[in-house]
């Protein structure tokens, strides 16, 4: 490996470590402190809640949360599939790219929705500018955001326990089970920091050795 390649990896690693901790603290505050982003973003958030008809003060149970994630992902998958299939008739297609075949559109949409980003095609020879910008590039951020939202839900502390039922006269009350510690999650900045550093290792490996072969 050349000296330039090694220096790029070193600078990249230093930047990740330097920004990982403050960004981890910020992300933790996003999940724990209401209106942390200020009035401007709070107004955007309230507008979004009105559009989707959601009550920000009402918590979802696991079934509602799972339904929301599935519906959101399926809708975006349909949009991405449609963009690929209709790109020949849409704008931002100066190279007059034809419609992406159905099987390839489905495979690409499914992979980008799940953030695996399987690219079984030549981007500049298959996808129009619109497909790459409004479809694939958007999912690089949206699918990752969905994953972070699921991580925050799965790693949040347990719900408060319900009060114990009164003991019946016939049987003595059993002692309460010892409380289990809260699961680590978005409320612990160190967890997010370590997760970011752990993810950076894969990025450094790809930069050092190149992307893995799909075959």
The model's pLDDT over 91-109, given as tens digits with 9 standing for 90+, comes to 999 999 999 999 999 999 9
The token pair at 156 is: 């949040």
Reported as a pLDDT band with limits 50, 70 and 90, residue 166 is low
Sequence-distant (≥ 6) Cβ neighbours of residue 107 within 8 angstroms: 118, 120
The token pair at 54 is: 């959601």
**What are the backbone dihedrals phi and psi of residue 140, each rounded to the nearest 5 degrees, phi first?**
-60, -30
Continuous H helices in 33-119: 39-52, 62-86, 102-113
Predicted TM-score of the model (pTM): 0.64
57 vs 41: CA distance, rounded Å: 17
pLDDT value for 204: 45
pLDDT value for 170: 52
Sequence-distant (≥ 6) Cβ neighbours of residue 143 within 8 angstroms: 73, 76, 112, 113, 114, 115
Closest CA to 103 of 115, 91, 111: 111
% of the chain surpassing 90 pLDDT: 32
Sequence-distant (≥ 6) Cβ neighbours of residue 138 within 8 angstroms: none
Instruction: Evaluate whether 88 touches 56 at the Cβ level (below 8 Å).
Output: no
pLDDT value for 150: 86
Q: Please state, in angstroms and as integers, the Cα–Cα distance from residue 129 to each residue in 26, 104, 124, 133, 210, following that order.
A: 34, 17, 8, 6, 25
Closest CA to 135 of 213, 73, 80: 80
**Residues making up the chain, counted from first to last:** 215
pLDDT value for 188: 40
If you average pLDDT over every residue of the chain, what do you get? Answer: 76
Whether the CA torsion 124, 127, 130, 136 is positive or negative: it is negative
User: Which of 39-43, 144-148, 173-177, 211-215 comes out lowest in average pLDDT?
Assistant: 211-215
% of the chain surpassing 70 pLDDT: 69
Higher pLDDT, 131 or 215: 131
pLDDT digit string (tens) for 107-162? Answer: 999 999 998 888 888 777 899 999 999 999 999 999 988 988 888 788 665 544 44
Half-sphere exposure of 41 (CA within 13 A, CB side): 6
Residue 203 has pLDDT above 90, yes or no: no
Instruction: Evaluate whether 81 touches 105 at the Cβ level (below 8 Å).
Output: yes
User: Which of 14-28, 51-65, 77-91, 167-181 comes out lowest in average pLDDT?
Assistant: 167-181
How is residue 55 annotated by DSSP? -
Higher pLDDT, 13 or 57: 13
């Amino acid at each position: 490996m050349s000296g330039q390649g090694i220096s790029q990896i070193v600078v990249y690693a230093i930047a990740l470590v330097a920004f990982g901790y403050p960004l981890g603290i910020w992300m933790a505050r996003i999940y724990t402190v209401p209106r942390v982003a200020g009035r401007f973003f709070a107004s955007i958030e309230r507008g979004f809640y009105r559009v989707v008809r959601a009550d920000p003060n009402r918590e979802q149970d696991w079934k509602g949360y799972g339904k929301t994630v599935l519906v959101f992902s399926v809708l975006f998958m349909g949009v991405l599939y449609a963009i690929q299939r209709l790109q020949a008739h849409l704008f931002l297609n100066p190279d007059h790219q034809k419609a992406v075949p159905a099987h390839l559109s489905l495979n690409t949409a499914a992979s980008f929705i799940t953030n695996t980003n399987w690219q079984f095609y030549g981007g500049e020879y298959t996808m129009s500018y619109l497909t790459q910008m409004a479809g694939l590039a958007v999912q690089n951020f949206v699918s990752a955001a969905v994953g972070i939202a699921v991580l925050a839900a799965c790693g949040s502390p347990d719900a408060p326990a319900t009060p114990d039922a009164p003991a019946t006269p016939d049987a003595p009350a059993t002692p309460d089970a010892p409380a289990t510690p809260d699961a680590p999650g978005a409320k612990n900045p160190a967890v997010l920091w370590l997760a970011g550093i752990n993810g950076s290792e894969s990025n450094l490996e790809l930069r050092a050795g190149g992307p893995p072969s799909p075959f």
